[in-house]
Structure 1
Amino acid sequence: MLQRIQTIYLLLAIFVSAGLIFVFPIWENSAGEDVFALDVLMAFGMFIASAAMSLVSILIFKNRKLQFVLGRLNIILNFFLLGVFVYWSLTLPGEMDISEKGIGMFLPIISIVFLVLANKAIKKDEDLVKSVDRLR
């Protein structure tokens, strides 16, 4: 399980989705206070759901097809989270709530990169198993 490269990529995606959200703020409000993902329930739930999907994907390492599907769903979830952040930062009028964007808004992009790399490695493993089955 840990000897596969996709497990490392998925662990990094878990670290980004569940660990770095407590370190980097999503934005700074007009009062100058940092707003973390824990303060915004919807963003926090989506980050934790992404981390949970990555963890489940690691634990079902014997079923590569389901692992690949969960990876794609996780990528879609992170794109949706990124879209929510862009929507929040562009539609709030007059800088009422979001004064300055933080690096936490870009965490879904980093997570997407690791998930794409993991899916690529899963697909490579699946193709290898299929080629060996053809020889039998």
Structure 2
Amino acid sequence: MIQRIQSTYLLVVVILLAFMVFMPFANMISDSTGVEYQIGFMGITATTQVDIPLSTVPLSTLIGLCLAIAFVTIFLFKKRMLQIRLTIVNILLLLGLQGLTYYYTNAASNELNASYSFTIVFVFPVVSAILSFLALRAISKDEALIRSLNRLR
């Protein structure tokens, strides 16, 4: 299972998405009050106790969904067609996650009148989508090989 290159790609995707759970995507500093904020899996947090008006539940849900799909896809190595479909869905969700992360960072920045800077975690969905695409190509090659061997019988 793990000796297959697509399983390795998918395992790296799971690891990158797990990092997104524990690390902030962006840091913000309010221009007017100087309060520092971080946007992460658990929402927008501040260094001081400030009421933050923006909820990031859809963002957290999407991260959890992408993580679960990537993890489950690793163990579907005997059902290649289902693995291909789930990988395609995960690629689309990861690209949506990237856009949603940018949207929430920009919306929070406008709402809190703050300037923001992204951390390295911000690019993890794009890297994960690229790795998922590479896994998709490898799964497709496996499926083509199996089909060609079935024709020889």
Identify whether the pair has TM-score above 0.5, normalized to the shorter chain: yes
Cα 1:20–1:94, aligned 2, differ >3 Å: closer, same or farther? closer
TM-score (structure 1 length as normaliser): 0.87
Between 1 and 2, higher relative CO (CA 8 Å, sep ≥ 6) is seen in 1
CA distance in 1, matches of 2:97, 2:113: 18
1:121 match: secondary structure: helix
Q: Deviations over 1:90-118 (max 9, x none)?
A: 45674726521322322210110110111
Report the identity percentage: 32
Q: Which has the higher helix share?
A: 1
Q: How does 1:19-98 map to 2 (within 5 A)?
A: 19-23=19-23, 25-29=24-28, 30=30, 31-39=35-43, 40-90=56-106, 94=110, 96=112
Shift, 1:86, TM fit: 2.9
- Is residue 108 from structure 1 mapped to residue 97 from structure 2 by the alignment? no
2:138 corresponds to? 121
Q: Which runs of 4+ in 1 moved over 6 A?
A: none
Where does the alignment leave 5 or more consecutive residues of structure 2 unmatched?
Answer: 44-55
CA contact 1:6–1:121 (8 Å) conserved in 2: yes
Separation in structure 2 between the aligned mates of residue 2 and residue 93 of structure 1, nearest angstrom: 42
- Once residues 52 and 97 of structure 1 are traced to their aligned partners in structure 2, the CA distance between those partners, rounded to angstroms, is 35
C-alpha contact (below 8 Å) 2:109/2:116 kept by paired residues = no
**Does the CA-based 8 Å contact 1:14-1:51 persist in structure 2?**
yes
**Unaligned stretches of 5+ residues in structure 1:** none
CA distance in 2, matches of 1:83, 1:124: 30
TM-score by length of 2: 0.78
